[in-house]
Structures are given as structure tokens and as C-alpha cells.
Amino acid sequence: MSLSCEDLADLIDGRLPWPQVRSIISAPKDDDRFQRLLELLQARVAWPERILLPLSDHLCVVEKGRERIVKCRCGQEFGDWRCNWKLLALMLVRDDETSLQEIYPGRSAPDPEHCEVREYICSGCATLLKVEAVPFGYPIIFDALPDLDTFYREWLGAPLSDKIPCEDRSAAVIEQWSR
């Protein structure tokens, strides 16, 4: 199903009615949709780095010189895409009844004896980027480590100029903290 640029923008922004969204989801995709998505997202940011892959509504993996980094729409950088960006975000931990009641009023709040709610916030624009509800002591979840080289080479048929190994580098960030 070929989408117009306007429909693609409305789909991303959540402005299409559900029946139309369902039709788009279930129909075969046009071959250039990912490229048109990147062009649309690129036009919405003020910075020049090339967007390689959207990670969420506000975060993208971008090409910055010879590096690939995670960047917020506001321009805030979260470092190497192979490191969990959450390690460089502001984190608000809700682990007591008072703080949990702020977002879960009444009896809908989780039991602070059993879990905590972590809110990851961009230090550049204060946008809430992600929320996790996890047991105490649970490690920060690394949502996705995309193999960009394989994706571009094998799925898009457009290899990236520099091949960079896809390996979790989050431990390096944590190691720097101990110095």
C-alpha cells in the first residue's frame, strides 16, 4: 500500500482513524516507506546529523561524523548507540507510596514493597522518554541494540560507509563511573 507523505506524517503523529491504521498495518508495504519515514523525521529536527533509525518518538540513532549515536529530537546526545542510552538520561525513581501516588492515585498504585517505577528523562528538553516498572535491584533494561550494518546492507540494500561491530558497550559507561 503506497502512502502519501501526508498520510505517513499523520500515521506517525497518531492522527489517523483506527480503521485506516489497521488497513495500513495489514497491507503490503511500499518499498521506499522507510526512506520516506527517515526524510520526514529528518525534516522535523534542527540538527544536521543523518538519522539512521528511529528508536522511539523522541530518540534516533544518527550518524555523527564517523560515529553513530543516540540523539533526542531536541539535540541532546546520549552517546554511542551500542551503549544503553538510559545510562546517560536523567532518572526519577518512584519507590515509595507518596511518589507512586503522584502518577497512580488511589488503589491503582503498585506496591512499593515489590517494585519501583523508573522514569527516564531527557536532560536537554525534559521530555519523558521511557518508563519501566521493575523489581528492586533489577538492572536497567537495554531495549534494543540494532545491528545497523546488517539492516542497511541486507534489508535496505544500501550499506553504510563504515562497518561498526554491533556489540553492547554499556559496561564501558559504567566502568567510567568507577574512575
In a domain, 92, yes or no: yes
Claim to verify: residue 90 and residue 173 sit in the same structural domain: yes
Number of domains in the chain: 2
Tell whether 118 is covered by a domain: yes
Q: In the numeric block, which cell numbers belong to residue 91?
A: 532518572
Q: What is the reported pLDDT for 3?
A: 87
Residue 167 in any domain: the answer is yes
Q: pLDDT-based confidence at 108, cuts 50/70/90? A: confident
Say if residue 116 is in the same domain as residue 31.
Answer: no
Please report, rounded to a whole number, the percentage of residues in the chain having pLDDT higher than 90: 80
Give the residue among 122, 114, 121, 56 at the shortest CA–CA distance from 92: 121
Supply the range of the domain harboring residue 29.
Answer: 1-44
Q: What's the pTM value of the predicted model, to 2 decimals?
A: 0.90
Residue 77 is assigned to a structural domain of this protein: no
For residue 173, what pLDDT is reported?
A: 87
* Residues 90 and 166 grouped into a single domain: yes
Q: Note whether residue 134 is domain-resident.
A: yes
- For residue 120, the SS3 value is strand
Q: With residue 76 as reference, give the H or E element that holds it.
A: none
88 and 38 part of one domain: no
On whether residue 146 sits in a domain, the answer given is yes
Which pLDDT does position 53 carry in this prediction? 98
Question: In angstroms, rounded to a whole number, what is the distance separating the alpha carbons of residues 123 and 177?
Answer: 18
Tell me the per-residue pLDDT of 150-173, one tens digit each, with 9 for 90 and over: 999 999 999 998 899 999 999 988
Name, in order, each residue with C-beta under 8 angstroms of 143's C-beta and a sequence gap of 6 or more. Answer: 55, 130
Q: What is the predicted pLDDT for the residue at 1?
A: 64
pLDDT digits (tens, 9 = 90+) for 24-64: 989 998 889 999 999 999 999 999 999 999 999 999 999 99
Q: What is the pLDDT of residues 59-107, one digit of tens each?
A: 999 999 999 999 999 999 999 999 999 999 999 999 999 999 998 888 8
Amino acid at 54: P
Indicate whether 90 and 157 sit together in one domain.
Answer: yes
Residue 89 and residue 17 share a domain: no
